[in-house]
Structure 1
Amino acid sequence: MNATILHESRGRIRLRLKQKQMSLRQADLLQEWLDRQTWVQQATVHERTCCVIVRYRGTREQVLDAIRQFSWQQADRSITLPAHSSRQLNRDFEEKLVGKVLCKAACTLFLPSPLRIARIVWQMIPFLRRGIGCMLRRQLKVEVLDALSIGISAFRRDFGTAGAVMFLLEVGELLEEWTRKKSVEDLARCMALGTDRVWLHTPDGDILTPIAQIVPGDQVVIRAGGVIPVDGLVLEGEATVNQASLTGESIPVAKHAGSLVYAGTAVEEGECLVEVRQASGQSRYDQIVSMIERSEQMKSAAENKAVHLSDRLVPYTFAGSLLSLALTRNPARALSVLMVDFSCALKLAMPLAVLSAMREAGSEHITVKGGKFLEAVAQADTIVFDKTGTLTHACPQVAQVIPFGGTDEQEMLRLAACLEEHFPHSMANAVVEEAKRRGLTHEEFHSKVEYLVAHGIVSTVNGERVRIGSAHFIFEDEGCVIPKGEQERFDALPAAYSHLYLAVGQQLAAVICISDPLRAEARDVLSALRALGISQTVMLTGDSRRTAAAIASEVGVDTFRAEVLPADKAQFIAELRAAGHTVLMVGDGINDSPALSEADAGIAIRDGAAIAREIADITLSAESLWELVKLRQIAVGLMARIRSNYRFVIGFNGTLIALGVAGILSPAASAALHNLSTLGVSLRSMQSLPKPKIVLPGAENT
Structure 2
Amino acid sequence: MGSWRWRVPLVSGLLIVASFAASAASGADALGDALMVAAAAVAGWGIAVKAARALMVRVVGIDLLVSVAAIGAVIIGEYWEAAAVTFLFAVGHALENATLSRTRSALAELVAVAPEVAVVLRGGEQVEVPAASVAVGEEVLVKNGARVPVDGEVTGGTGALDEASITGESIPVEKTTGDEVYAGTVSMGGFLQVRAAGVGAGTTLARIIHRVEEAQDAKARTAAFMDRFSSWYTPAVIALALAFGLATGDAVLALTLLVIGCPGALVISIPVAIVAGIGRGAKDGILIKGGEYLETSARIDAVALDKTGTLTEGRPYLTDVVPLGAAWSRADVLGWAARAEAGSEHPLARPIVDAARGEGLDITGLPEATEPVPGKGIVATLDGHRVAVGNLALLEDEGVTSAVIAGVVDELAAAGRTPMVVAVDARPAGVVAVADRVRSDAARMVADLHAAGVKKVVMLTGDTRRVAEAVAGQVGVDEVRAELLPEGKLEAVAGLRARGHVVAMVGDGVNDAPALATADIGVAMGAAGTGVAIETADIALMKDDLSKLPRAIAMARSTVSVMRQNIFIALGTVGALLAGVLLGGVTMAIGMLVHEISVLVVIGNAMRLLRRRGTPRTAGGTPDRTPHRSEARDPDRLAS
Q: TM-score, normalised on structure 1?
A: 0.57
Residues 336 and 657 of structure 1 are in contact (CA less than 8 Å); yes or no, is this contact kept in structure 2? no
In the alignment, what sits opposite 1:67?
Answer: none
Q: Secondary structure at the match of 1:580?
A: coil
Residue 372 of structure 1 deviates from its aligned partner by: 3.1
Residue from 552, 571, 575 that aligns with 1:650? 571
In the alignment, what sits opposite 2:602?
Answer: 681
Structure of greater Rg: 2
What are the equivalent positions in structure 2 for 1:236-635 lying under 5 Å apart? 269=185, 301=222, 304-341=224-261, 344-394=264-314, 396-400=316-320, 430-431=351-352, 433-434=354-355, 465-466=374-375, 483=396, 489-490=405-406, 492-495=410-413, 497-500=415-418, 513-611=433-531, 612-622=533-543, 624-635=545-556
Return the letter of the residue paired with 1:164: W
Q: Distance in 2 between matches of 1:551 and 1:335?
A: 67
What are the equivalent positions in structure 2 for 1:113-152 lying under 5 Å apart? 113=29, 130=49, 138-152=58-72
Return the letter of the residue paired with 2:84: L
Q: Secondary structure at the match of 2:506?
A: strand
Residues 498 and 515 of structure 1 are in contact (CA less than 8 Å); yes or no, is this contact kept in structure 2? yes
Residue 361 of structure 1 deviates from its aligned partner by: 1.0
Return the letter of the residue paired with 1:169: V
What are the equivalent positions in structure 2 for 1:25-174 lying under 5 Å apart? 96=11, 99-110=14-25, 111-113=27-29, 130=49, 138-155=58-75, 158-159=76-77, 161=78, 163-174=79-90
Q: Distance in 1 between matches of 2:357 and 2:251?
A: 89
Equivalent pairs, count:
489
Residues 89 and 267 of structure 2 are in contact (CA less than 8 Å); yes or no, is this contact kept in structure 1? no
Cα offsets for 1:141-172 (capped at 9, x unmatched): 334333433444454xx31x1x1122213432
Residue 535 of structure 1 deviates from its aligned partner by: 0.6
Cα offsets for 1:370-395 (capped at 9, x unmatched): 23333332211111223343334446
Q: Distance in 2 between matches of 1:682 and 1:300?
A: 25
Q: 1:95 to 1:297 in 2, by over 3 A?
A: farther
Q: Distance in 1 between matches of 2:453 and 2:317?
A: 35
Q: Distance in 1 between matches of 2:603 and 2:38?
A: 29
Residues 604 and 618 of structure 1 are in contact (CA less than 8 Å); yes or no, is this contact kept in structure 2? yes
Q: 1:145 to 1:639 in 2, by over 3 A?
A: closer
Cα offsets for 1:374-426 (capped at 9, x unmatched): 3332211111223343334446421347899xxx98787677676667x7xxx
Deviates more, 1:616-625 or 1:348-357: 616-625
Q: Distance in 2 between matches of 1:529 and 1:628?
A: 8
Residues 349 and 645 of structure 1 are in contact (CA less than 8 Å); yes or no, is this contact kept in structure 2? yes
Q: Distance in 2 between matches of 1:120 and 1:621?
A: 45
Unaligned 5+ residue runs, structure 2?
110-145, 151-165, 167-182, 188-215, 325-332, 378-392, 422-427, 628-640
Q: 1:112 to 1:603 in 2, by over 3 A?
A: closer
Q: 1:567 to 1:513 in 2, by over 3 A?
A: farther
Q: Distance in 1 between matches of 2:489 and 2:67?
A: 56
Residues 99 and 289 of structure 2 are in contact (CA less than 8 Å); yes or no, is this contact kept in structure 1? no
Q: Secondary structure at the match of 2:304?
A: strand
Residues 302 and 502 of structure 2 are in contact (CA less than 8 Å); yes or no, is this contact kept in structure 1? yes
Q: Distance in 2 between matches of 1:645 and 1:314?
A: 19
Residue 315 of structure 1 deviates from its aligned partner by: 0.3
Q: Does 1:670 align with 2:591?
A: yes
Cα offsets for 1:183-209 (capped at 9, x unmatched): 368x56999x99xxxxxxxxxxxxxxx
Q: Secondary structure at the match of 2:297?
A: helix
Cα offsets for 1:87-142 (capped at 9, x unmatched): x8999799747633431212323354555566666677675864667656654333
Residue 304 of structure 1 deviates from its aligned partner by: 1.3
Cα offsets for 1:575-618 (capped at 9, x unmatched): 22222222222233454444333322222222314243343332
Return the letter of the residue paired with 2:269: A
In the alignment, what sits opposite 1:202?
Answer: none
Q: Distance in 2 between matches of 1:370 and 1:420?
A: 46
Return the letter of the residue paired with 1:100: L
Residue 548 of structure 1 deviates from its aligned partner by: 3.6
Residues 402 and 409 of structure 1 are in contact (CA less than 8 Å); yes or no, is this contact kept in structure 2? no
Cα offsets for 1:247-276 (capped at 9, x unmatched): xxxx9xxxxxxxxxxxxxxx95469xxxxx
Q: 1:583 to 1:545 in 2, by over 3 A?
A: same
RMSD, aligned α-carbons: 5.0
Cα offsets for 1:30-59 (capped at 9, x unmatched): xxxxxxxxxxxxxxxxxxxxxxxxxxxxxx
Q: Per chain length, whose mean CA-contact separation is higher, i.e. which structure has more relative contact order (CA < 8 Å, sep 6+)?
A: 2
Q: Distance in 2 between matches of 1:306 and 1:445?
A: 77
Return the letter of the residue paired with 2:83: F
Residue 432 of structure 1 deviates from its aligned partner by: 5.4
Q: Distance in 2 between matches of 1:498 and 1:380?
A: 30
Q: 1:420 to 1:675 in 2, by over 3 A?
A: farther
Return the letter of the residue paired with 1:606: G
Residue from 79, 95, 113 that aligns with 1:179? 95
Residue from 637, 641, 656 that aligns with 2:558? 637
Residue 657 of structure 1 deviates from its aligned partner by: 1.6
Cα offsets for 1:633-670 (capped at 9, x unmatched): 10111111122222222222122222122222123332
Q: Distance in 2 between matches of 1:566 and 1:439?
A: 43
Q: TM-score, normalised on structure 2?
A: 0.62
Q: Distance in 2 between matches of 1:429 and 1:368?
A: 38
